[in-house]
A = this chain, B = another copy of it.
Amino acid sequence: MTIVNQIVLASRPKGPPTAANFRLEETAMPQLPPSGLLLRVLYLSLDPYMRGRMDDAKSYAKPVEIGEPMQGESVCEVLASDRPGFSKGDIVTAFTGWRTHAAWSAGPLRKLDPKAGSITAALGMLGMPGFTAYSGLMIIGKPRAGETVVVAAASGPVGSLVGQLAKMVGARAVGIAGGADKCRHVVEELRFDAAIDHRAPDFPAKLAAACPKGIDVYFENVGGAVWQAVLPLLNTYARVPVCGLIAQYNSAGPAAGPDLLPRTMRNVLTRSLTLRGFINTEFAPEHYPAFLKMVAGGIADGRIRYREDITDGLENAPAAFMGLLEGKNFGKALVRVAT
């Protein structure tokens, strides 16, 4: 008999999540829904946005309820289908949550062609993280040849694509990452023009040195101290797509002083900056085909490279996710749930 597992939100974190906030449960095998699919999860995607779903706060998406499975997208094998066009053995992406098996009856669903390339890319470069990078950079940031683009978490799936797309349009790409290994990867493998370790004591000075003509596009996915170092380097009319704030996701309650808001607002005013928050779904209907074309083309001809950080076993997803929030992953974080 198949053992069916899921990981539920056991309690809401105060600050960084701990193992106690998650609970591994055995559950019954779901039924094949009418017009739906029965799925076996192969790979689960771990993404920073999941931290927000653990809080009971107003956001663009509803929080996960206590006792409900953690949400997430995965690559799955179809075990049974009552849906035209889908057959047993097909590989699809679906929002199954953190579980080994799931019933699909509604929501996004995409059939993959395993012969066309890696199926896990559908959770990374050719999926939500990739489209997030594309839409923030190309639609909001609009880098021009010769401009300077800076992105943090540059060895992760979003940051690595931001820099590689910036290079494809002729801009200078500067990455920020944590530690020498990641910085080396960003320059040597991903071919950014420079990579700066945000843990270096003289990080602001090193970032300034890597951006001799200032910063025209800063793709914001971390916030915190990195933003403070970026702010004085932003050029007049710089664009700041705000895609994530991982440095502040784990903070509980109001932050201690000094109040850094006046400094940011003064720079917004005096340098005519644009800050634009976005969720990738805003742009999907209009821009997804152009994204797939550009990124699939870049992967095919070698201009876009990526790295995955795969953890084995659904039971290890909480630890991998907690590591992701601390920047311990090196590449797109995935959990191999089954093979």
B-contact bits for A251-293, CB 8 A (1 contact / 0 none): 1001111111111111111111111111100100000000000
- Whether the pair A266, B282 counts as a contact (CB closer than 8 A) is no
Which of B254, B263, B265 is A258 in contact with, Cβ under 8 Å? B254
Within the complex, the shortest CB–CB distance from A184 to chain B, in Å, comes to 30
A339 within 8 A of B: no
Minimum CB distance partner of A271 in chain B: B277
Residues of B within 8 A of A268 (CB): 242, 275-277
Report the separation of the CA atoms of residues A17 and B63 in the bound assembly, to the nearest whole angstrom. 49
- Whether the pair B269, A259 counts as a contact (CB closer than 8 A) is no
B-contact bits for A230-264, CB 8 A (1 contact / 0 none): 00000010000011110010010011111111111
Residues of B within 8 A of A262 (CB): 223, 245, 248, 251, 255
Report the separation of the CA atoms of residues A261 and B223 in the bound assembly, to the nearest whole angstrom. 10
Which of B60, B260, B267, B272 is A236 in contact with, Cβ under 8 Å? B60
Q: How many residues of A contact B (CB 8 A)?
A: 40
Give residues in A with beta carbon < 8 Å to B. Answer: 52, 58-60, 223, 227, 236, 242-245, 248, 251, 254-279, 282
Residues of B within 8 A of A60 (CB): 236, 270-272
Number of copies: 2
Report the separation of the CA atoms of residues A274 and B72 in the bound assembly, to the nearest whole angstrom. 28
- Whether the pair A223, B265 counts as a contact (CB closer than 8 A) is yes
Report the separation of the CA atoms of residues A251 and B277 in the bound assembly, to the nearest whole angstrom. 28
Residues of B within 8 A of A259 (CB): 254-261
- Whether the pair A279, B272 counts as a contact (CB closer than 8 A) is yes
Minimum CB distance partner of A264 in chain B: B261
Residues of B within 8 A of A275 (CB): 268, 273-276
Which of B261, B274, B276 is A260 in contact with, Cβ under 8 Å? B261
Report the separation of the CA atoms of residues A267 and B59 in the bound assembly, to the nearest whole angstrom. 8
Can you spell out 28 A-B residue pairs with CB atoms less than 8 angstroms apart? A59-B270, A60-B271, A223-B265, A242-B265, A254-B263, A255-B259, A255-B261, A256-B257, A256-B259, A257-B257, A257-B258, A257-B259, A258-B259, A259-B259, A259-B260, A264-B264, A267-B277, A268-B276, A268-B277, A269-B277, A270-B277, A272-B277, A272-B278, A273-B275, A273-B276, A274-B274, A274-B275, A275-B276
Minimum CB distance partner of A140 in chain B: B274
Residues of B within 8 A of A261 (CB): 255, 259-261, 264
Within the complex, the shortest CB–CB distance from A49 to chain B, in Å, comes to 10
Report the separation of the CA atoms of residues A259 and B260 in the bound assembly, to the nearest whole angstrom. 6
Residues of B within 8 A of A255 (CB): 257-259, 261-262
Residues of B within 8 A of A260 (CB): 259-261
- Whether the pair A269, B242 counts as a contact (CB closer than 8 A) is yes
Report the separation of the CA atoms of residues A85 and B244 in the bound assembly, to the nearest whole angstrom. 57
Which of B58, B274, B277 is A276 in contact with, Cβ under 8 Å? B274
Known interface pairs A257-B259, A258-B259; A248-B266 also in contact (CB < 8 Å): yes
Minimum CB distance partner of A254 in chain B: B258
Residues of B within 8 A of A245 (CB): 262, 265-266, 269
Closest 5 CB pairs of A and B: A257-B257, A255-B259, A268-B277, A275-B275, A260-B261
